[in-house]
Amino acid sequence: MFERFTTGAREVVTGAHQAARDLGNQHIGTEHVLISMLRDENGTVARLLRERGLDAATARDDVRRLAGGTEPGPSRAETEAEDAAALKAIGIDLDKVRAAIEENFGAGALQLPQALPRKRGFFGRLYASGGHLPLTPRAKKLLELALREAVRLHQNFIGPEHIMLGLLREGEGLAARVLTEHRIKFDDLRTELERSLTDQAA
């Protein structure tokens, strides 16, 4: 499916990854895809949504509010201290376990490597294996629906407009809630997106 994505559609997916990171999320959801599309100031989707009063900054703020905020969790040191206390309560001394591991496997056996190995991800791009964020099931469905929209319109490419049509068709994720809160009429937006795609294909 991804070989049919236009450059713009690929940038939507990679931009969604960045939007998720910016919000401190560990997944890529429909809301991140929406923010990514809105960040493309010259894109058709962003233009149509701006005309309806929604821009990237507003969508990002709405996502934070609707998702319950992005309060930072406990620090790694706090988490490790809590884990050590919980283990001690059941008779396991974490310091002794660490010492035994280092005695058997060498000093630094529990240390992570400085540079994580790089792997190929979406569209052949390299990423550190610890830095790749997974798509939520709803975001995967959105991309599948984008393909269905392209097939329905008899188009052999998938652009950002198809992704937006997929988002409208999915209609239940956090992105759809943001659109609904801004009283964006899905049918009207769908009509304009289809018109834009027809013009592109002509």
The domain that holds 22 is classified in CATH as 1.10.1780.10
pLDDT tier at 91, thresholds 50, 70, 90: low
Residue 148 lies in a domain: yes
Residue 35 lies in a domain: yes
Residue 75 lies in a domain: no
Residue 111 lies in a domain: no
44 dihedral zone (left: phi>0; alpha: psi -120 to 50; beta): alpha
Looking at the structure of the chain, the number of domains it has is: 1
Residue 2 lies in a domain: no
Residue 46 lies in a domain: yes
Q: Is the dihedral of CA 174, 178, 181, 186 positive or negative?
A: negative
Q: Do 64 and 179 meet the contact criterion of CB atoms below 8 Å apart? A: no
Residue 72 lies in a domain: no
Q: Do 165 and 149 meet the contact criterion of CB atoms below 8 Å apart? A: yes
Structural domain including 18 reads 9-57+131-201
Residue 89 lies in a domain: no
pLDDT in tens, 43-89: 889 999 999 999 899 898 888 888 764 444 444 455 556 656 655 66
What is the model's pTM? 0.67
Using the structure block, give the residue that is written with the tokens 């429909």: 30
For the segment 171-193, the average pLDDT, to the nearest whole number, is 90
Quote the CA–CA distance of 86 and 92 in Å, as a whole number: 9
Predicted confidence at residue 134, as pLDDT, reads 83
